[in-house]
């Protein structure tokens, strides 16, 4: 393992640095807060000749995704970045990227969707794209965002995968905050990412991509193959995490846990506010409360078997969702957790905490409140199935 230098960088600077080291063939992007500073920084690298990337400045996110679909189909290593409304505008293209099995990397700096208009973090943007067939990885801090960006092409371009990858991290909380980030040597990253050879080259051999497939065709079978590919990518993603550990010393897993062995109440969360929940879990342990933490990194494909393995001995589960699914039983992450448990016939008290929408801070006191609810649930007392923990003006008894 080579030595690394530690820099004080914002999350967006760290990701731009990773992009510089990856040196993708094509990047197409349109500005949107809080993503913009990634492309601002990266376009400096382009202008200063530090990368060979063809930077395409498009007129919308719809065009940004269209451009990288075109370049990826032509065999170029292609990348883009966006947030919120930008991701929403890419929506129809997201399905085309995954349907065409193109190994595109998209950095999504998580932000709320309008209305009311709001530039701050939540995971609604990513959850809107949840079923588009992309691999989705959530990151807690700038270091993880940097590392995940470097790993993304290794996952996407693997011949057992050939799927687009979405790297998520929280807007402002990570994207605009200065953090200590360990930076790998340029050559180490270059060797790790390696050269990309597309399975076909449409410039040499004219190829039809995304042809019309009518009722007598294979659309249905194709979707089944796509589903299999996404599910089968799970071990490949772990292999890439493992290989990355060899060059960085940082060993990632689909799921990260703390105090899970004997945990009675388990908090489940993903993203930057995992740290605040971790603090409360540590504090609970100091008081002798058997709390545990499950952080979800690989969100799609959902590592359901591992989730069940981790949660099956708990007495109550508190799932923190930074997005809602209006009118559904639970918000997205909580639905995934309860589905996974139900499939394996584990029925337990589950509390779904809605937090952080539109950048609302999750206060430590609110996590303590969630812990109390979790303790009640684990003791067979009544508990709310879904709670909006940060609502203003709520009654306090």
Partner 1 sequence: MLEIRWHGRGGQGVVTAAKFLTDIALFQNKYFQAFPEYGPERMGAPIQAFTRIDDNPINIRTGIRRPDVVAVLDATLIGTVDFLNGLKENGTILINTPEPPEAIRRVLNIENKPYKVFTVNATHIALETIGRPIPNTPMIGALVKALNLAPIEVVLEFLEKSFSKKFSEEIVRGNVDAAKRAYEEVQEG
Q: Does residue 47 interact with partner 1 by CB under 8 A? A: no
Beta carbon of residue 174, minimum distance to partner 1 (angstroms, whole number): 8
Q: Does residue 217 interact with partner 1 by CB under 8 A? A: no
Site string for partner 1, 175-204 (x = CB under 8 A): -xxxxx------------------------
Bridge-partner residues for 81, per DSSP? 107
Q: Residue 65, SS3?
A: helix
Q: Residue 277, SS3?
A: helix
Beta carbon of residue 8, minimum distance to partner 1 (angstroms, whole number): 5
Beta carbon of residue 165, minimum distance to partner 1 (angstroms, whole number): 24
Stretch that binds partner 1, among 79-87, 169-177, 189-197, 224-232 (CB under 8 A): 169-177
Stretch that binds partner 1, among 67-75, 167-175, 234-242, 325-333 (CB under 8 A): 167-175
Q: Does residue 361 interact with partner 1 by CB under 8 A? A: yes
Q: Residue 141, SS3?
A: coil
Q: Which residue has the tokens 């966006």?
A: 82
Beta carbon of residue 346, minimum distance to partner 1 (angstroms, whole number): 29
Q: Does residue 364 interact with partner 1 by CB under 8 A? A: yes
Site residue total, partner 1 (CB under 8 A):
23
Q: Does residue 117 interact with partner 1 by CB under 8 A? A: no
State the alpha helices, DSSP H only, in the chain.
Answer: 11-22, 36-47, 61-73, 84-89, 91-99, 124-128, 142-156, 186-193, 219-248, 274-286, 304-311, 332-343, 364-378
**CA-based max dimension of the chain:** 72
Nearer to partner 1, 179 or 256 (CB): 179
Nearer to partner 1, 29 or 273 (CB): 273
Nearer to partner 1, 242 or 361 (CB): 361
Nearer to partner 1, 276 or 324 (CB): 276
Stretch that binds partner 1, among 184-192, 219-227, 244-252, 270-278 (CB under 8 A): 270-278
Nearer to partner 1, 78 or 272 (CB): 272
Contacts of 252 (CB under 8 A, 6+ apart): 144, 147, 151, 241, 244, 245, 297
Joined tokens for residue 380: 């067979």
Contacts of 7 (CB under 8 A, 6+ apart): 17, 180, 181, 183
Q: What CA–CA distances, in Å, run from 348 to 8, 30, 239, 257, 337? A: 43, 45, 32, 19, 11
By CB under 8 A, the residues from 8 to 27 that bind partner 1 are 8
Beta carbon of residue 261, minimum distance to partner 1 (angstroms, whole number): 21
Choosing from 184, 273, 284, 333, the residue that interacts with partner 1 (CB under 8 A) is 273
Nearer to partner 1, 157 or 258 (CB): 258
Phi, psi of 26 (to 5 degrees): -135, 135
Exposure of 271 in the CB half-sphere (CA atoms within 13 A): 30
Q: Does residue 363 interact with partner 1 by CB under 8 A? A: yes
Nearer to partner 1, 154 or 295 (CB): 295
Q: Does residue 172 interact with partner 1 by CB under 8 A? A: yes
Joined tokens for residue 257: 């846990």
Beta carbon of residue 120, minimum distance to partner 1 (angstroms, whole number): 7
* Residue 265 Ramachandran class (φ > 0 left, ψ -120 to 50 alpha, else beta): beta
Task: Tally Cβ neighbours within 10 Å of residue 73.
Answer: 21
Q: Does residue 362 interact with partner 1 by CB under 8 A? A: yes
What stretch of H or E contains 257? Answer: strand 255-258
The footprint of partner 1 (CB under 8 A) covers: 6-8, 119-120, 172-174, 176-180, 272-273, 275-276, 278-279, 361-364
């Amino acid at each position: 393992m080579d030595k690394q230098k530690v820099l004080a960088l914002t999350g967006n600077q760290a990701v731009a640095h990773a992009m510089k080291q990856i040196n993708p063939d094509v990047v197409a992007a349109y500005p949107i807060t809080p993503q913009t500073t990634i492309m601002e920084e990266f376009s400096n690298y382009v202008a200063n000749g530090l990368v060979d990337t063809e930077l395409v400045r498009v007129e919308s996110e719809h065009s940004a995704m269209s451009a990288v679909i075109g370049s990826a189909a032509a065999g170029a290593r292609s990348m883009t970045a966006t947030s919120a409304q930008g991701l929403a505008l890419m929506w129809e293209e997201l399905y085309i990227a995954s349907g065409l099995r193109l190994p595109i990397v998209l950095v999504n700096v998580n932000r709320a969707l309008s209305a009311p208009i709001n530039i701050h973090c939540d995971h609604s943007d990513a959850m809107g794209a949840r079923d588009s067939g992309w691999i989705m990885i959530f990151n807690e801090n700038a270091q993880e965002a940097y590392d995940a960006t470097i790993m993304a092409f290794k996952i996407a371009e693997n011949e057992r995968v050939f799927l687009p990858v979405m790297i998520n991290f929280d807007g402002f909380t990570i994207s605009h905050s200065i953090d200590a980030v360990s930076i790998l040597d340029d050559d180490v990253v270059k060797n790790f990412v390696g050269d990309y050879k597309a399975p076909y080259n449409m410039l040499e051999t004219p190829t039809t991509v995304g042809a019309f497939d009518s009722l007598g065709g294979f659309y249905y079978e194709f979707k089944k193959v796509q589903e299999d590919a996404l599910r089968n990518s799970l071990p490949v993603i772990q292999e890439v995490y493992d290989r990355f550990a060899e060059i960085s010393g940082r060993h990632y897993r689909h799921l990260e846990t703390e105090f899970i062995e004997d945990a009675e109440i388990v908090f489940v969360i993903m993203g930057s506010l995992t740290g605040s929940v971790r603090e409360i879990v540590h504090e609970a342990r100091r008081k002798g409360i058997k709390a545990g933490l499950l952080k979800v990194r690989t969100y799609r494909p959902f590592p359901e078997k591992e989730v069940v393995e981790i949660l099956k001995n708990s007495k109550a589960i508190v799932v923190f969702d930074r997005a809602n699914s209006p009118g559904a039983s639970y918000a997205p992450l909580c639905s995934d957790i309860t589905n996974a448990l139900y499939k394996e016939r584990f029925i337990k008290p589950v509390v779904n905490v809605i937090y952080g929408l539109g950048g609302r801070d999750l206060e430590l006191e609110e996590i303590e409140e969630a812990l109390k609810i979790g303790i009640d649930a684990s003791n067979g007392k009544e508990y709310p199935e879904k709670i909006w923990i940060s609502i203003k003006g709520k009654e306090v008894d």
